[in-house]
Chains A and B, each alone.
Chain A
Amino acid sequence: MTTIFPSFSEEKLLEQILHHQIISIIGLGKNVGKTTTLNYLINLLSPNQKIAVTSIGRDGEKYDEVFGTPKPRIYINEGTILALARNSLENSDISIEILESTMINTPLGNIIIVRALSAGYVELTGPSTSHELKKVFNIFQQFGSEIILVDGAVNRRSFASPIITNATILATGASISPNFDEIILETEFFAKILTIPALEKTRIKKLVDQIPKIGIINEDNNVISFSVQSSLDLPDSMLELIDEKTRYFIVKGVFSNSLLDKLFSTISPHQPLTIVIPDSTKIFLDRNRFNLLQKTKWELKVLKAIRLLCITVNPTSPLGYEFNRTLLLQELRRRISVPIFDVYQGFENEK
């Protein structure tokens, strides 16, 4: 089969990981092979690389708590530094050296920083907030970690936020839906959100900086800020200030369905308009509305883009159904311009 990404290879992916240093893996649902993706990355990196691994919340359980299916634990190499909850130490079979006992608490005990003195399986249960995650990154770096991998929990896409990690890998797969088309559409939707481009024009960026929460910029570069507490309660009186001269609509907060509906009822879809949001994790639009938005003359831009390195696909669902791997990959690749591969098979083995 011919690959659509001639420039992509494991070597390239490795290069990207080494460049971005802090990588999160987020799953589009349960059992999409997120843990397998993490193991794949660990294997991809050289055993001499100083790797640190943690997760957000509890994950990597021995058994999937929803379906009761066996779930791979994370196999890490000797020398890896880990941040995990104290009670998870018992469920890991590596020999360890305790490096630090932090004050970060979780339901499974405080977060302990350990060095693996042997290879082995670990139950990865990390901190539960982004603030705590940042603290853990700091500790990792103090202990000389060069690459930090974060196993993001399911549906916690905010932890792909570019403010916390530098790049992201998305895991998707059959377990999302028994309907082939639905998997394609959902993955495409999500990938599009994660790859919303950054606002490039520095001139406009400077104007955007002046807006505290919500505001507009008109074609004559006139900036109007709306004094609101949150992006969720934009009064109609402010919407009246938006007219045919408005070129930018800036929301420094959540961009929701209701906000988009208000815009639809205020501005013509044929009027050129750039909607600027802080980053992709702030988008809370359903798929229909997002697609509707794509059909207008409007475009979405983020202040800080998430770097989506690749998408991994698991064509098998733990419920027992399976899709044709080639078809699934083909269809996704036709629609999404990010490297996509089946992590169980490996990218190179496809050729």
Chain B
Amino acid sequence: MPTLTPIPLNPREKQVIGWNFIMQQLSPETPYGNTLKANTGIYSSEDRQELLEEFENIAYMIKSLQNSASIHEKLGYELIKLKDIRPILRKLQSNQNLDEVDFYELKYTLLVSQRIIGLYSQLDLSIKNIQFSDLSESLSILDPQHTQLPTFQYYPEYSDRLQNIQKEKKSLENTMFQLQKKKTVEKKVKNAEFLDELEHLKQKRTLLVQQEQAEIGIIRRNLSHQLLSYVHNFKSLITSLGNLDWLLEKAKLALQFSGCRPDIQKFSKKKEKIALKLEEMHNPYIASLLAARNRSFTSLSVQFSRGVNLITGANMGGKTVLLYTTLLNILLAHSGFYVFAKSADIPLGAFFSSIFTDNQDLSQGLSSFGAEIVMFNRVLLDHENEPGFLFIDEFARGTNPSEGRMIFKAIVRYLQFLPWISVLTTHYDIKPEPNVSNFQVVGLRNTDLSALAQKLSNIQDDPSRSVALIQDHMDYHIIPVTSNTSIPMDAINIAQILGLKPAIIQFAKEFIQNDLHQNVKE
């Protein structure tokens, strides 16, 4: 069993990147599958082999779901019947005697499991962590008459003595019944006599009930003792049932949202090498939010290198969505799930850090900048020399822009020397550096701005529709920035098409030109 560590996200991050949404889609049928779901976590790089096996298993299961739908339907119907026998196993192991309800639950579980095993064998799968053994030996303890019926009683086979006591009790009850009948129907007995006789019979019956209980106590002890030697088998049974249930859920998830099997690499020691590649990835959570507003998710492709990867682009350009979607898919791959992309090359990292300050947070300004610094320090302190992933959204956005830009530049410079894949989005334009890969959101670069401006002028009075229209024209893909990539000036473009006075636009353009010249001189 691999050791899994908890998902390194706070509750808010789990929500916004779509992790919670994915978990909500998974609903295992059994208590055992649900335990595995609750323990979902990151595989360590030592467990790479297990992780690869898990993807192999999901691949088998997907094929099986596609090829043997009718068997899977029956299988699901049986899995849903399974109840939690772990408390019963704990009782057995602590040498407590089971009672008739426990025996019933155990027998019921074994009978259902037998049917599951039968159906599973028809699927003809060979999955290492799903191994079933024959249950008939343990079942025969609880089903001595081999009826295969899901009911339980203290069978005559358990004890001749019990059988005799119960016979005697029954005949006594019959006598009592006859006596009652004589009294009420035939009216042949006097009241006092009747009561005396009834009391006498009741006392006799009480004695028999006591004997019956004592004998049942002995049977309970015997059966519990016999079952104790099968606890190991029962445990491996429920482990396999849980694995089967959970694997089915993972496979169904992959089918539901068109997931792909990621190619898991070792973390590259070489700088600049393309280390993380996700082709046409998507985010089911954000897609569901967009679908509710009749919009669709633009699938995105990224190729990030070891070192620093910078993404620039105007607001509304989907930089944050790109970051969330990349992080979501990396975490899914590290936790043994298919990823939501057409193809994925993902190196196995030792840590995943994200610095997302909440832009809806009211306590903006210095405090959010302060929080970023504290978080960044924490990451450095914990992971400076480990291979891993760092995601930062709009670092230092909340502080004085000129200082903020310099601090950001400094951080970018420092991160180049760490064995990490760092992905940072920013407003600040940073001159290309040798160990930094620069990307830009395409944005409105390829849009016919005058046509868009024309459309906008028709709906001028409705700002929300204007924003929606711009979003429709926004190209969310990212492209690598080379020395001759033109500056996108999307902010100016947006201001222009939203009707900012031309004179002001003109000033802004001039300022930008001057600024560029200065930068070159620097």
Give 1 or 0 for each of A102-130: 1 = CB within 8 Å of chain B CB.
Answer: 00000000001001011110000000000
Instruction: Give complex CA distance A179, B100 in Å.
Output: 49
Give 1 or 0 for each of B171-187: 1 = CB within 8 Å of chain A CB.
Answer: 00100110010001000
Known A78-B170, A118-B169, A119-B173; judge A99-B151 contact (CB<8 A): yes
Within 8 Å of chain B (Cβ to Cβ): is A86?
Answer: yes
B101 and A89 contacting across the interface, CB-CB below 8 Å: yes
Instruction: Give complex CA distance A169, B154 in Å.
Output: 37
Taking the closest CB of chain A, its distance from the CB of B371, in whole angstroms, is 45
Within 8 Å of chain A (Cβ to Cβ): is B212?
Answer: yes
Instruction: Give complex CA distance A255, B100 in Å.
Output: 47
Within 8 Å of chain B (Cβ to Cβ): is A93?
Answer: yes
Pick the residue among A89, A93, A96 that contacts B153 (CB under 8 A): A96
Pick the residue among B105, B184, B212 that contacts A95 (CB under 8 A): B212
Residues of B within 8 A of A101 (CB): 83, 101, 104-105, 108
Give 1 or 0 for each of B129-161: 1 = CB within 8 Å of chain A CB.
Answer: 000000000000000000000111110000000
Taking the closest CB of chain B, its distance from the CB of A148, in whole angstroms, is 20
A89 and B100 contacting across the interface, CB-CB below 8 Å: yes
A-B pairs with beta carbons under 8 Å apart, 13 shown:
A78-B170, A95-B154, A95-B166, A96-B153, A97-B152, A98-B103, A98-B151, A100-B150, A100-B151, A101-B101, A101-B108, A118-B166, A119-B170
Instruction: Give complex CA distance A154, B105 in Å.
Output: 33
Residues of A within 8 A of B180 (CB): 43
A118 and B173 contacting across the interface, CB-CB below 8 Å: yes
B209 and A93 contacting across the interface, CB-CB below 8 Å: yes
Instruction: Give complex CA distance A117, B169 in Å.
Output: 11
Within 8 Å of chain B (Cβ to Cβ): is A235?
Answer: no
B169 and A95 contacting across the interface, CB-CB below 8 Å: yes
Instruction: Give complex CA distance A43, B176 in Å.
Output: 13
Within 8 Å of chain B (Cβ to Cβ): is A346?
Answer: yes
Residues of A within 8 A of B103 (CB): 98
B184 and A98 contacting across the interface, CB-CB below 8 Å: no
Known A117-B166, A118-B169, A118-B173; judge A112-B153 contact (CB<8 A): no
Residue ID in chain A nearest B162 by CB atoms = A95
Interface residues of A (CB under 8 A from B): 43, 47, 78, 86, 89, 93, 95-101, 112, 115, 117-120, 346
Instruction: Give complex CA distance A147, B100 in Å.
Output: 26
Residues of B in contact (CB 8 Å), total: 23
A346 and B184 contacting across the interface, CB-CB below 8 Å: yes
Taking the closest CB of chain B, its distance from the CB of A106, in whole angstroms, is 14
Residues of A within 8 A of B83 (CB): 101
Known A95-B169, A97-B152, A101-B108; judge A119-B100 contact (CB<8 A): no
Additional A-B contacts beyond A100-B151, A117-B166, A119-B176 (14; CB < 8 A): A78-B170, A86-B101, A89-B99, A95-B166, A97-B153, A98-B103, A100-B150, A101-B101, A101-B104, A112-B101, A115-B151, A117-B153, A118-B169, A118-B173
Taking the closest CB of chain A, its distance from the CB of B152, in whole angstroms, is 5
Per DSSP, chain B at the interface is helix
Taking the closest CB of chain B, its distance from the CB of A170, in whole angstroms, is 23
Residues of A within 8 A of B108 (CB): 101
Give the 5 A-B CB pairs with smallest separation, nearest first. Answer: A97-B153, A98-B104, A119-B173, A93-B209, A98-B152
Instruction: Give complex CA distance A8, B213 in Å.
Output: 44
A-B contact count (CB 8 A): 49
Give 1 or 0 for each of B54-96: 1 = CB within 8 Å of chain A CB.
Answer: 0000000000000000000000000000010000000000000
Residue ID in chain B nearest A99 by CB atoms = B151
Give 1 or 0 for each of B183-220: 1 = CB within 8 Å of chain A CB.
Answer: 01000000000000000000000000100100000000
Taking the closest CB of chain A, its distance from the CB of B268, in whole angstroms, is 52
Residues of B within 8 A of A97 (CB): 151-153
B100, B170, B180: most-surrounded residue (chain A CB, <10 A)? B100
Taking the closest CB of chain B, its distance from the CB of A56, in whole angstroms, is 22
Taking the closest CB of chain B, its distance from the CB of A86, in whole angstroms, is 6
A98 and B173 contacting across the interface, CB-CB below 8 Å: no
A47, A95, A99, A115: most-surrounded residue (chain B CB, <10 A)? A95
Per DSSP, chain A at the interface is mixed
Residue ID in chain A nearest B105 by CB atoms = A101
Residue ID in chain A nearest B173 by CB atoms = A119
Residues of B within 8 A of A112 (CB): 101
Taking the closest CB of chain A, its distance from the CB of B111, in whole angstroms, is 13
Residues of B within 8 A of A118 (CB): 166, 169-170, 173
Residues of B within 8 A of A346 (CB): 184
Instruction: Give complex CA distance A86, B104 in Å.
Output: 12
Taking the closest CB of chain A, its distance from the CB of B100, in whole angstroms, is 5
Instruction: Give complex CA distance A38, B154 in Å.
Output: 29
Instruction: Give complex CA distance A10, B277 in Å.
Output: 84
Taking the closest CB of chain A, its distance from the CB of B160, in whole angstroms, is 15
Instruction: Give complex CA distance A78, B174 in Å.
Output: 10
Taking the closest CB of chain B, its distance from the CB of A258, in whole angstroms, is 43
Residue ID in chain B nearest A93 by CB atoms = B209
B105, B150, B173: most-surrounded residue (chain A CB, <10 A)? B173
Instruction: Give complex CA distance A96, B150 in Å.
Output: 14
Instruction: Give complex CA distance A120, B184 in Å.
Output: 19
Taking the closest CB of chain B, its distance from the CB of A88, in whole angstroms, is 11
A98 and B166 contacting across the interface, CB-CB below 8 Å: no
Residue ID in chain A nearest B213 by CB atoms = A93
B83, B103, B177: most-surrounded residue (chain A CB, <10 A)? B177
Residue ID in chain A nearest B180 by CB atoms = A43
Known A89-B100, A112-B101; judge A98-B169 contact (CB<8 A): no
Residues of A within 8 A of B154 (CB): 95
Residues of B within 8 A of A47 (CB): 177
Give 1 or 0 for each of B97-117: 1 = CB within 8 Å of chain A CB.
Answer: 001110111001000000000
Instruction: Give complex CA distance A96, B153 in Å.
Output: 6
Residues of A within 8 A of B105 (CB): 101
Instruction: Give complex CA distance A117, B167 in Å.
Output: 11
Known A93-B209, A117-B153, A346-B184; judge A98-B100 contact (CB<8 A): yes
A78 and B173 contacting across the interface, CB-CB below 8 Å: yes
Instruction: Give complex CA distance A93, B170 in Å.
Output: 12
Instruction: Give complex CA distance A43, B184 in Å.
Output: 11
Instruction: Give complex CA distance A119, B108 in Å.
Output: 26
Residues of A within 8 A of B212 (CB): 95
A47, A78, A86, A97: most-surrounded residue (chain B CB, <10 A)? A97
Instruction: Give complex CA distance A115, B169 in Å.
Output: 17
Taking the closest CB of chain B, its distance from the CB of A82, in whole angstroms, is 13
Residue ID in chain B nearest A121 by CB atoms = B209
Residue ID in chain B nearest A77 by CB atoms = B177
Taking the closest CB of chain A, its distance from the CB of B163, in whole angstroms, is 11
Residues of A within 8 A of B152 (CB): 97-98
Instruction: Give complex CA distance A86, B87 in Å.
Output: 15
Residues of B within 8 A of A95 (CB): 153-154, 166, 169, 212
Residues of B within 8 A of A78 (CB): 170, 173
Residue ID in chain A nearest B210 by CB atoms = A93
Instruction: Give complex CA distance A119, B169 in Å.
Output: 9
Instruction: Give complex CA distance A119, B176 in Å.
Output: 10
Instruction: Give complex CA distance A115, B152 in Å.
Output: 10
Residues of A within 8 A of B169 (CB): 95, 118
Taking the closest CB of chain A, its distance from the CB of B81, in whole angstroms, is 11
Residues of A within 8 A of B99 (CB): 89
Instruction: Give complex CA distance A115, B166 in Å.
Output: 15
Taking the closest CB of chain B, its distance from the CB of A89, in whole angstroms, is 7
A78, A93, A115: most-surrounded residue (chain B CB, <10 A)? A93
Residues of B within 8 A of A119 (CB): 170, 173, 176-177
Residues of B within 8 A of A99 (CB): 151
Taking the closest CB of chain A, its distance from the CB of B295, in whole angstroms, is 36
Known A95-B166, A95-B212, A98-B151; judge A120-B173 contact (CB<8 A): yes
